Amino acid sequence: MTMLLKALEGEFHEYILGIDFSDRQFRAEFGDEATYPQVTIGHKHIGSMKEALQYMKENGILNG
């Protein structure tokens, strides 16, 4: 996801497991079934990488 966001030349902030948050904090925030990474665009939580790619496609951020 980081490589894609860099390629799109958009502004983003990356939080890193073990540096910015723990797995326990991640699970408390997103639930036990959540996968890495979780994506937020603006103030809207989009979800997993698959959900983020679908959102980007549907909203014209990605072509194809």
Q: pTM value?
A: 0.81
Give residue 42's pLDDT. 85
Give residue 10's pLDDT. 82
Alpha helices in the chain (DSSP H): 2-7, 23-30, 49-58
Instruction: Report yes or no: 15 and 63 within 8 Å, Cβ to Cβ.
Output: no
**Separation CA 49–CA 21 (nearest Å):** 18
Query: pLDDT digit of tens for each residue in the chain (64 aa)?
Result: 999 989 998 889 999 999 999 999 999 999 999 999 999 988 999 999 999 999 999 999 888 6
